[in-house]
Amino acid sequence: MKAENPVTTASDARSQPDGARPDLSNANIREDLAGQGRCALVHLPTGRTCLLPLRHHGPCEFHRPQEADDVAAGR
Ligand SMILES: [Zn+2]
């Protein structure tokens, strides 16, 4: 049995800012909400944002951009 391990290189790894979460590399993060300890994951197809705490359990809960703005503004 021949096991072929494709060589994975970091050649396509884009330089990420400090604090980037590799597990979310294919998603967008609202930095203003992330700075408030929120998950802040943006569901790109809908533009909705997860307002749950960072590293919350379970799936993300996406809210409308207006709600996210309210949270970001501390309202
Ligand atoms: Zn989330």
pLDDT confidence bin for 18, thresholds 50/70/90:
low
pLDDT confidence bin for 7, thresholds 50/70/90:
low
Distance from residue 43's CA to the centre of ligand 1 (Å): 10
Distance from residue 4's CA to the centre of ligand 1 (Å): 35
Distance from residue 54's CA to the centre of ligand 1 (Å): 7
Q: What is the pLDDT of residues 20-52, one digit of tens each?
A: 656 555 569 999 999 999 999 999 889 999 999
pLDDT of residue 1: 67
pLDDT confidence bin for 71, thresholds 50/70/90:
very high
Domain residue extents for the chain: 25-72
Q: Cα–Cα distances in Å, from 43 out to 7, 8, 67, 71?
A: 31, 27, 14, 17
C-alpha span between 50 and 7 (Å, rounded): 34
With pLDDT > 70 as the criterion, what percentage of the chain qualifies?
65
Distance from residue 69's CA to the centre of ligand 1 (Å): 16
pLDDT of residue 25: 53
